[in-house]
Every structure is written in structure tokens, then in C-alpha cells.
């Protein structure tokens, strides 16, 4: 993928995320590690919505959180991205949003359960960051998020939002949508009272494997992009 290809994916990712209700004014940000220089990453700028990302306003940032290319304003929570990229060489894309059901689940202190197929994707793969409700504005706080994420696919920032990671833009964007769906189903299930037992571990793990293949994420992301184009 060329740099322009990556930027174009980030642009469509932003439009898809807004279409799926993942926006919160101009808050929320997505980044992608440069394949030819893993010490740098592209990132959405401050002061624009996720659906307002352009080729011109995307920033290039280093692993210390410094802007090395671009003139837009940098998000103060850049350290979520830089510290995760430092800690997770397997991660190419980092996404932070404020989806309401996921935030509500984080506020309960309860672990995510496999009460749905999207829940199975996150079976034993969600960390929880509980240090603060505040913005992640220092390297130390970013390192705390990365530590809470550990080797997981996502981390809930208690009473604040979520961070989802992946090897691709498609995996990360589809992942955050599935996480929010899983949180919604879980809250509805628990509100109804007395949930039935989950399926056996082996059954959940088999589904988790089946729905986490790269081509599955890409197929679904491509569909969401086509839908966003039809809405444009």
C-alpha cells in the first residue's frame, strides 16, 4: 500500500465510523503505522470530525508524539497511539472513540461476555483502563492504556471510551462496531435479568477464530465503504 492508499482508507474509515454512530463531535481519532517506517504513523487531526479527514489534513507523527509532517493541530491524546505502537509491533491501526454502550458497560465494572457473536470476537480479549476518566494527555497515561490493553484486541477506558487495535484499518473499524454491538446486547441481556449460561469455551473459541480472519474484516469494511459512498 502506498501512503496515499493508507490515507484514503483513513478517510473512508472516518465516514464509516460516523455512519455507524461512532462519532462524538470532533472527538475520536484513528491512526495507521507507516509500513515503510514503523517509527511513524498517520493520524487524524484535532478540531475536525471523523468524517472530515482529508489527504491534506492527516498528520505524520513519530513514536514520541511529535508531528513530523503536516500543519494541522495534533490531538492531545496522541499518546494513546504512540504508546500502543511502541508496545505492540503487531498493531498497525489504533482507534479511539466514545461509543455509548461500550462506555456504559465499562461503567458497570463487569467483564464482557460472549452473549452474541460479536461478543465472541472479544472473548477474553478486552482490557480495562481504570486510572482516570480524564483525557490521555501524557506519555505516562498513554503507557497505562497500552499496559491495560496488553495483548488484547480492545481496552475499555472506564467511563470514557474505547481503544480498538488491529493489523489493518478494516479489522480495527469493523472491530469497534462489533464491540459496540456486543456491549449493547450484553447490557440488554443483563437488564432482562438471569442470563442463561454462555456456550462452552470451545464453541466460542471456534467462532472467534472463524470471524477474526483478515478477509472477513475486509469484506465487511468494503461493504461499509460502499454504503457510505451511496449516502454521500
Active site residue 77: yes
Q: Which of 20, 56, 77, 83 is catalytic?
A: 77
Rounded to 5, what percent of the chain is helix, strand, coil?
45, 20, 35
Nearest 5°: phi and psi at 93?
-130, 135
Radius of gyration for the chain, computed over Cα atoms and rounded to the nearest angstrom: 17
- List Cα–Cα distances, 129 to 93, 112, 157, 190, 207, in angstroms: 19, 14, 5, 22, 27
Q: How many residues does this entry show for the chain?
A: 232
Instruction: Sort 198 into a burial class: Cβ within 10 Å, 0-12 / 13-18 / 19+.
Output: middle
The whole-angstrom separation of Cα 137 and Cα 75 is: 9
Selection from 26, 27, 28, 34 nearest residue 9 by Cα: 34
The whole-angstrom separation of Cα 229 and Cα 232 is: 5
Selection from 13, 149, 161, 158 nearest residue 91 by Cα: 149
- Positions annotated as catalytic residues are 77
Amino acid at each position: 500500500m502506498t501512503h496515499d492508499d493508507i490515507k484514503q482508507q483513513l478517510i473512508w474509515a472516518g465516514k464509516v465510523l460516523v455512519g455507524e454512530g461512532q462519532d462524538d463531535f470532533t472527538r475520536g481519532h484513528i491512526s495507521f503505522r507507516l509500513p515503510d517506517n514503523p517509527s511513524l504513523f498517520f493520524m487524524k487531526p484535532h478540531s475536525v470530525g471523523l468524517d472530515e479527514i482529508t489527504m491534506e489534513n492527516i498528520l505524520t507523527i513519530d513514536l514520541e508524539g511529535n508531528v513530523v509532517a503536516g500543519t494541522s493541530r495534533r490531538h492531545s491524546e496522541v499518546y494513546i497511539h504512540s504508546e500502543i505502537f511502541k508496545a505492540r509491533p503487531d498493531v498497525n491501526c489504533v482507534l479511539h472513540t466514545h461509543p455509548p454502550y461500550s462506555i456504559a458497560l465499562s461503567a458497570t465494572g463487569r467483564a464482557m461476555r460472549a452473549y452474541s457473536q460479536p461478543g465472541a470476537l472479544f472473548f477474553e480479549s478486552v482490557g480495562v483502563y481504570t486510572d482516570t476518566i480524564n483525557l490521555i494527555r501524557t506519555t505516562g497515561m498513554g503507557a497505562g492504556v497500552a499496559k491495560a490493553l496488553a495483548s488484547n484486541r480492545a481496552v475499555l477506558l472506564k467511563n470514557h471510551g474505547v481503544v480498538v487495535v488491529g493489523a489493518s484499518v478494516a479489522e480495527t473499524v469493523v472491530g469497534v462496531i462489533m464491540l459496540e454491538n456486543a456491549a449493547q446486547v450484553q447490557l440488554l441481556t443483563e437488564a432482562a435479568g438471569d442470563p442463561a449460561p454462555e456456550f462452552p469455551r470451545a464453541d466460542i473459541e471456534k467462532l472467534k477464530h472463524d470471524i477474526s480472519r483478515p478477509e472477513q474484516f475486509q469484506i465487511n469494511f468494503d461493504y461499509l465503504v460502499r454504503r457510505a459512498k451511496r449516502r454521500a
